[in-house]
Amino acid sequence: MPDLREAGLLEGAVYVTVEEKHKPVFQGLRLREVDREEVSFLRLEDGFKDVPRGAYEERQGFRVYELEQT
């Protein structure tokens, strides 16, 4: 990763993953969790082919990581 670092491509970089996933591991990089967010959105229930029966709320969590300075 030194080439990416030297080129400045890792400056300000973040990695986002869904809540259910583990912290990512990349050889030569160290990440630290800096934030967690959750979004809510409506999903349509399965119904007839062209007419949904209703809607329900679903939530998805995200984790945000940034590179630790080494």
Residue numbers of the domain that contains 33: 2-67
pLDDT digits (tens, 9 = 90+) for 6-61: 888 878 888 899 998 888 888 888 899 999 999 999 888 776 667 667 888 999 99
pTM higher than 0.75 for the full model? no
Structural contact between residues 29 and 67, judged by C-beta atoms closer than 8 angstroms: yes
Question: Into how many domains does the chain fold?
Answer: 1
